[in-house]
Amino acid sequence: MTDNIRVVRLTQDYQFKSFDCGNQDLNDFLLSDSKPYLKKLLSVTYILETDDDIVAYFSVSNDKISVPDSDKATWRKIKALFPHSKHRSDYPAVKIGRLAVNSKYRDNGIGSDILNFVKDLFISGNRTGCSFVTVDALREAIPFYLKNDFRYLDKTTADADTDTCLMYYDLTKLVD
């Protein structure tokens, strides 16, 4: 069912196809906000499509991990990844701002494939330094990100009463 999927970088003249992931906010971002975000250089959206449908999409933008974003124990682990002479007050990251899979194509591993694509995109041929992938995971998506080796940036937010939770993936473990 997913053999004829293409990855397309969104352009201003892209003609949207059918898409519904079951989350109105994620649907609206793709159909209403992704082009203005692209025009204002806020994010780049990639679309996975077939001839008939948008299978999934994700948006990425620059980010950073810094001391205020994390709890002390996590920050110590992050700093330990780098030689002392390279310690900083923040480390470069790419944020997955939105990631959604069309309900019609769920449970095929497409979300995990997208995460692997993003990881590869930022460790091979990347144009800037980038040590981490971050995401403000929707509560219902946290198990998905944990399954894909993302970790809580601030463990105190894991149980907080918020809509999202900041998580990260360490890209350096793919190149060491």
Per-residue tens of pLDDT for the chain, all 176 residues? 456 899 999 999 999 998 999 999 999 999 999 999 999 999 999 999 999 999 999 999 999 998 888 888 888 888 888 888 878 889 999 999 999 999 999 999 999 999 999 999 999 877 788 999 999 999 999 999 999 999 999 877 777 778 889 999 999 999 86
Instruction: Give dist(CA 18, CA 74) in Å, integer.
Output: 41
Nearest to 166 by CA among 26, 71, 52: 71
Q: What is the pLDDT of residue 70?
A: 86
Q: What is the pLDDT of residue 1?
A: 43
What the chain holds in terms of domains, given with CATH numbers, is 6-175 (3.40.630.30)
Q: What are phi and psi of 127, to 5 degrees?
A: -90, -15
Q: What is the pLDDT of residue 9?
A: 97
pTM: 0.90
Q: What is the pLDDT of residue 69?
A: 80
- Token output for 101: 């899979």
20, 27 Cβ separation under 8 angstroms: yes
Q: What is the pLDDT of residue 51?
A: 92
